[in-house]
Chain A
Amino acid sequence: MVQSTAHSFKDNAREALGDAQLQRALSNVPKGFIDKRAKARDGLPEFDALRDAGRDIKNHTLAHLDLYLETYERKVAESGGVVHWARTAEEARNAILDICRERGARTVTKGKSMVSEEIGLNDALEAADIEPVETDLGEYIIQLRHETPSHIIAPAVHLSKDQVEESFREAHTELPADRDLTEPVSLLHEARQILRQKYLDADIGITGANFLIAETGTSIIVTNEGNGDLTQTLPKVHIVLATIEKVVPTLEDVSTILRILARSATGQEFSSYTTFSTGPRRADDPDGPEEYHVILLDNGRADVLGTEFQEMLRCIRCGACLNHCPIYHAVGGHAYGWVYSGPIGAVLDPALIGVEEAGSLPNASTFCGRCEEVCPMRIPLPKMMRHWREREFEKHLSPASVRTGLGLWAFMARRPGLYRAATRLAMGALKALSGGRGRLSSVPLAGGWTRYRDLPAPQGKTFQALWRERQHG
């Protein structure tokens, strides 16, 4: 599994805030995604009704997940494919490595898959002397740079064009110095040229799946570059790596959810490519793999079923919550320290790697609610984060100073007489300290506040004291 630095979120965040290049790149996230989604939503009157329908489909599926997974497995088998069940990341890696070894694979092309990041697949392949080649342009770029994706759908969103050019020149050693790479399209052509040969060389193609359809045993990927199609049709073996919550009952259900996926993600009505694959090639198929495998990974998700966190399994990985999150805009995806970032990462990561490791992620939210407002699956993300904070509080993981402060506040809040007397004194003292300036530049125990801003001073007497005077005066 990928090494986590989620516990150092605060330090990661500080570093990200001080990185001028990153801050410039991040400023494009809200500009690029928010208006496009709004426009796509406004152009579809039934958008919100589709969200309700999508939520209901997912809720129904999760309530009968065992049934739909069994049906899915049967249908895959009927179409000539094989389903491999994996409880853990390690089991998933081993299943893939076994297939690779049996075929004597040297080169593996990959369509974008966050799950493959979750199980640390590239490292495992390299350790087994198999070359993994990412074919999504963003993934290809970060693979060259030995980085991890910083966004669910835009893995290289943290990079500038200049950084990409630099990485290409470093990796593509035969590149003439005078080759113009100043435009994104020229970078794309350069990557395409290299990748074209890799597609042909690849022994095995590995893709993720946006959906698995129980009714037909089909897996679906949506892409904008067509790289997924080439990855899964050119090599002799296609491996689908997907997690158990990706299953939906029918083709009809998928067509409902697909209508809100791209609109939420990139503001497109539909992605450029939506590819359905059902089993290996049949005798009369013009192309397609000879073998079709599905690695069906749990990795902690089944434990979430039936808990207060179940709703997060509705996620369809559109990235809308990241695109609209002011915290993500401030620190970017890498600061979160593990595979999934942004609001969905803040609820998913503690479930997958433990609240001890990732507990600061659900705390790093103002509960502004924008993520929930845009989530196509209507996942109540702030509520999920609050539940993680409750788990953390129950386990006594929150800092002692916070617990003591809150405990004292709650103690006072339950004793109105004492509260009024104490706050009256405290506000009088704060007012006096402000010396008539109307604000304080430093306040004992309030360093977090006054590091960047003044504290407006109280007006003097409390409202309750003044109100009593008015009633009795």
Chain B
Amino acid sequence: MPSERPRVALFVTCLVDLFRPSVGFAAVKLLEQAGCTVEVPDAQTCCGQPAYNSGDRKDTASIARQVIRAFASYDYVVAPSGSCAGMIRKHYPTLFAEGSAERAQAEALAGKTHELVSFLVDVMGVSGVEAEYDGTVTYHDSCSGLRELGVKAQPRRLLAKVDGLTLAELPDAEVCCGFGGTFCVKYPDISNNMLEKKLANIASTGADTLLAGDLGCLMNMAGKLKREGSAVKVRHVAEVLAGETSQPPIGEGD
């Protein structure tokens, strides 16, 4: 672990900001426990993925410029989402011309931006957490975190340290849940077919709780589970790792 407390900027992500602030606070707690000083830059909104994946490069670049400005001065930028962290790490640099000053700034930001759980394990060397969870959980590997950032072992390693928690592996954990940002509303029928397969796999584990590291996927799966009347609780992995489970699970009332 670095000797001085690193200054970490939390990129809270639009979905966490709007729908599930408790994930943001869980992330803050985990980062502070790991010895970081956490700040939340004011000028953050969204990473630009909706525009980027819809082919609108111009708006994406202007959103990226704003993110780059807002986060440039920190030691690290951490997001509780593999997809948003992947956007900054893998895609921001490609938005600007090779050799340009903007490209260099985008690359600098990309180099210090991380998904939350992989940051804790790979950068901060965290090997345990102070949390309890009484139940059997299963874990879905969200596509961007898994394939763009290699997030696979890290959440499992930390979940194994949660008192009382049993992990039941999800069959086809690496297969997309059908969210895909705008995909799920542009192609609802196909998305639903993928989601039904995912739900059958979740049921087959017998787990009482479903975890993942991306709120988009979680809202997609929770929305279907609750529509079907399933009792499976859905949470962001950060909530469980931080021991912050006082808020109702995703899609459930007070």
User: CB within 8 Å of B: which residues of A?
Assistant: 10, 13-14, 17, 326-327, 330-331, 363-370, 372-373, 386, 388-394, 398, 402, 406-407, 409-410, 412-414, 416, 419, 423, 426-427, 434, 436-439, 441, 446, 448-449, 451-459, 461-464, 466-467
> B54 near A456 (CB under 8 angstroms)?
no
Chain B, interface size category, equals 35 or more
> B190 near A413 (CB under 8 angstroms)?
no
> B227 near A441 (CB under 8 angstroms)?
yes
> A458 near B188 (CB under 8 angstroms)?
no
Known contacts A452-B191, A463-B21: A392-B55 contact under CB 8 Å: yes
Taking CB atoms, residues of chain B closer than 8 Å to A390 are 55-57
> A13 near B227 (CB under 8 angstroms)?
no
B76 within 8 A of A: no
Binds A, one of B101-109, B127-135, B202-210, B243-251: B243-251
Known contacts A365-B183, A369-B147: A414-B54 contact under CB 8 Å: no
Closest CB-CB distance, A423 to chain B, in whole Å? 5
Residue from the set A10, A412, A437, A453 with the largest chain B CB neighbour count within 10 Å: A453
Closest CB-CB distance, B216 to chain A, in whole Å? 10
> A464 near B40 (CB under 8 angstroms)?
yes
Closest CB-CB distance, A220 to chain B, in whole Å? 32
In the complex, per-residue mask of B212-254: 1 if CB is within 8 Å of any chain A CB, else 0 = 0000000110111011000000000000000000011011111
Other 17 A-B pairs with CB < 8 A, given A402-B186, A406-B51: A326-B194, A367-B53, A372-B147, A373-B147, A390-B57, A402-B54, A419-B45, A423-B17, A434-B253, A438-B251, A439-B222, A439-B251, A456-B19, A456-B250, A458-B19, A459-B247, A467-B40
> A438 near B248 (CB under 8 angstroms)?
yes
Closest CB-CB distance, A247 to chain B, in whole Å? 30
Considering the complex, give the chain A residue whose CB is closest to the CB of B217.
A366
B73 within 8 A of A: no
Measured between alpha carbons, how far is A456 from B44 in the docked complex, in Å? 23
Taking CB atoms, residues of chain B closer than 8 Å to A10 are 187
Binds A, one of B111-119, B158-166, B173-181: B173-181
B167 within 8 A of A: no
Taking CB atoms, residues of chain B closer than 8 Å to A457 are 19, 251
Known contacts A369-B148, A462-B17: A412-B45 contact under CB 8 Å: yes
Considering the complex, give the chain A residue whose CB is closest to the CB of B249.
A438
Known contacts A448-B186, A463-B21, A466-B21: A437-B253 contact under CB 8 Å: yes
> B226 near A454 (CB under 8 angstroms)?
yes
Taking CB atoms, residues of chain A closer than 8 Å to B54 are 389, 393, 398, 402, 406
Measured between alpha carbons, how far is A463 from B187 in the docked complex, in Å? 30
Jot down 17 A-B pairs with beta carbons below 8 A, ordered by A: A326-B176, A365-B183, A368-B175, A406-B59, A410-B48, A419-B45, A426-B18, A427-B18, A438-B252, A439-B223, A452-B224, A454-B222, A456-B223, A457-B19, A457-B251, A458-B20, A463-B12
Closest CB-CB distance, B29 to chain A, in whole Å? 12
Taking CB atoms, residues of chain B closer than 8 Å to A434 are 253
> A439 near B252 (CB under 8 angstroms)?
yes
Taking CB atoms, residues of chain B closer than 8 Å to A367 are 53, 143-144, 180-181, 183
Of A365, A416, A448, A454, which is within 8 A of B184 by CB?
A: A448
Taking CB atoms, residues of chain A closer than 8 Å to B223 are 439, 449, 453-456
Considering the complex, give the chain B residue whose CB is closest to the CB of A455.
B223
B34 within 8 A of A: no
Measured between alpha carbons, how far is A383 from B22 in the docked complex, in Å? 33
> A463 near B195 (CB under 8 angstroms)?
no
Taking CB atoms, residues of chain B closer than 8 Å to A436 are 253-254
Considering the complex, give the chain A residue whose CB is closest to the CB of B172.
A30
B192 within 8 A of A: yes
Known contacts A386-B53, A456-B223: A464-B184 contact under CB 8 Å: no
> B51 near A453 (CB under 8 angstroms)?
no
Known contacts A406-B59, A410-B51: A416-B42 contact under CB 8 Å: yes
Considering the complex, give the chain B residue whose CB is closest to the CB of A448.
B185
Considering the complex, give the chain B residue whose CB is closest to the CB of A9.
B187
Measured between alpha carbons, how far is A151 from B17 in the docked complex, in Å? 43
> B45 near A456 (CB under 8 angstroms)?
no
Within 8 A of A (CB), among B1-28: 12, 14, 16-22, 24-25
Closest CB-CB distance, A142 to chain B, in whole Å? 24
Measured between alpha carbons, how far is A370 from B57 in the docked complex, in Å? 24
B74 within 8 A of A: no
B62 within 8 A of A: yes
B50 within 8 A of A: yes
Residue from the set B24, B42, B44, B190 with the largest chain A CB neighbour count within 10 Å: B190
In the complex, per-residue mask of B40-81: 1 if CB is within 8 Å of any chain A CB, else 0 = 101111101011111111010011001000000000000000
B37 within 8 A of A: no
Measured between alpha carbons, how far is A386 from B40 in the docked complex, in Å? 31
Measured between alpha carbons, how far is A364 from B220 in the docked complex, in Å? 17
Closest CB-CB distance, A20 to chain B, in whole Å? 13
> A368 near B147 (CB under 8 angstroms)?
yes
Of B21, B44, B62, B180, which is within 8 A of A366 by CB?
A: B180
Closest CB-CB distance, A382 to chain B, in whole Å? 9
Closest CB-CB distance, A324 to chain B, in whole Å? 9
Closest CB-CB distance, B236 to chain A, in whole Å? 11
> B66 near A459 (CB under 8 angstroms)?
no
Measured between alpha carbons, how far is A469 from B51 in the docked complex, in Å? 31
Taking CB atoms, residues of chain A closer than 8 Å to B24 are 463, 467
Considering the complex, give the chain B residue whose CB is closest to the CB of A438.
B253
Taking CB atoms, residues of chain A closer than 8 Å to B251 are 438-439, 454, 456-457
Closest CB-CB distance, B61 to chain A, in whole Å? 11
> A406 near B56 (CB under 8 angstroms)?
yes
Measured between alpha carbons, how far is A384 from B178 in the docked complex, in Å? 20
